[in-house]
Structure 1
């Protein structure tokens, strides 16, 4: 990035981790791929109407007691469950392409989500990132109800080491793609956190979805 690099996300030892600003560039120009437009069709992809207002993120330190949960060591993520919106799907590793954009899960597999495998492992110290489609040419996808999550909702992520990281939703926000707050979304607070990202906002046949829905969550337990 022309503006230089920011501190790297933690939690993935012995891996070369792109900077926070590199990952932000992913969101600005790459994660738009999550809103796949059918070839030759300028109509809006099928989706589920956004049904509830998005929540404001709580003030820093509002949930300081949550930081008491002991972090887990790094381990690959394998599955995500979000009971309140009926998500229970496999997680696949995602990586950046040659242009620095995050490769999304294939549009032919709308029920699969992915985690940024060169970043923080879910449950380890730092900010882990999980992305999934809102919709595809096949219809509503894995995160089509992501914006309906409420503060306090539970997110469970199974890991390759047999442990499960339990996260609690702090907030849900919509961010325009051209004003995406990279430091806020990807910044490291020093405790294990999770971001779930999909497309959102208005849809244009020229540019696709104009915003991203971001869920902010904090590790509150393990098993």
Structure 2
């Protein structure tokens, strides 16, 4: 299986670094579309819904998180993801938009690897950092097999290249039909550092060669310290 983001328009090649991020991410969310985690036996069949224009609409954020306006980290690539509650201890690879206009997936031959969308914010920056991982591969269970088991209050730690460990607290874990995926809620800019962990879920549709749902863990930055 492989993780892909459908795209009607291409999102920016790199994340905005200063003023204007909110507007650009609203536009980018249109291009990102629905996260699709593909089954190991083949690519997803058919297209996926695209987010309608949102320029005139106010952004819709994820679940409410405690105010952390004073806790914002500078940009730094993530190195390792740790979620002790579900046994995750995995290195990162970068994900970018491929020639198809979709977000490339983490390599399917490595079951213990997570991908970070390098065109977005890094974990700990203001905004919603996007991390995707396989639920299974051709060889068996993969890194995000138990993602749906997380609960509000679960801890997520990300070690960054700058030596900081960004600690997140899960606000909610929800499953969404791929036919009605809430693009704006998942991808919209946020006023504080947040995290989205995404994989596939639901039943497997053998005809479409795809899972019927996506699992999304919404989390907020809770603390940061040197490793």
TM-score normalised by L of structure 2:
0.78
User: Counterparts of 2:152 and 2:32 in 1: how far apart (Å)?
Assistant: 25
Q: Displacement of 1:187 after TM fit?
A: 1.1
1:105 aligns with 2:106: yes
Query: 37, 50, 53: which one pairs with 2:41?
Result: 37
Query: 19, 23, 28: which one pairs with 2:28?
Result: 19
| Structure 2 partner of 1:218 | 220
1:196 aligns with 2:197: yes
Q: Displacement of 1:60 after TM fit?
A: 5.2
1:61-109 deviation digits (Å, cap 9, x = unpaired)? 4x434x2451100111111000100100101101111222111111110
- Correspondences of 1:1-20 after superposition (within 5 Å): 12-13=16-17, 19-20=28-29
Return structure 1 stretches of 4+ with deviation > 3 angstroms: 14-18, 58-61
Where 1:19 maps in the other structure, the secondary structure is helix
Answer yes or no: is the 8 Å Cα contact 1:154–1:167 preserved in 2. Answer: yes
1:109-151 deviation digits (Å, cap 9, x = unpaired)? 0111110011010000000000000001100000000000011
Q: Displacement of 1:32 after TM fit?
A: 3.1
- State the number of aligned residues: 195
Q: Displacement of 1:12 after TM fit?
A: 4.9
Where 1:131 maps in the other structure, the secondary structure is strand
User: Counterparts of 1:174 and 1:68 in 2: how far apart (Å)?
Assistant: 28
| Structure 1 partner of 2:141 | 140
User: Counterparts of 2:198 and 2:62 in 1: how far apart (Å)?
Assistant: 20
Deviates more, 1:93-102 or 1:142-151: 93-102
Answer yes or no: is the 8 Å Cα contact 1:11–1:74 preserved in 2. Answer: no
Tell me, which stretches of 5 or more residues in structure 2 are unaligned? 1-6, 44-60
Where 1:119 maps in the other structure, the secondary structure is coil
Where 1:80 maps in the other structure, the secondary structure is strand
Where 1:22 maps in the other structure, the secondary structure is helix
User: Counterparts of 1:82 and 1:95 in 2: how far apart (Å)?
Assistant: 24
TM-score normalised by L of structure 1:
0.79
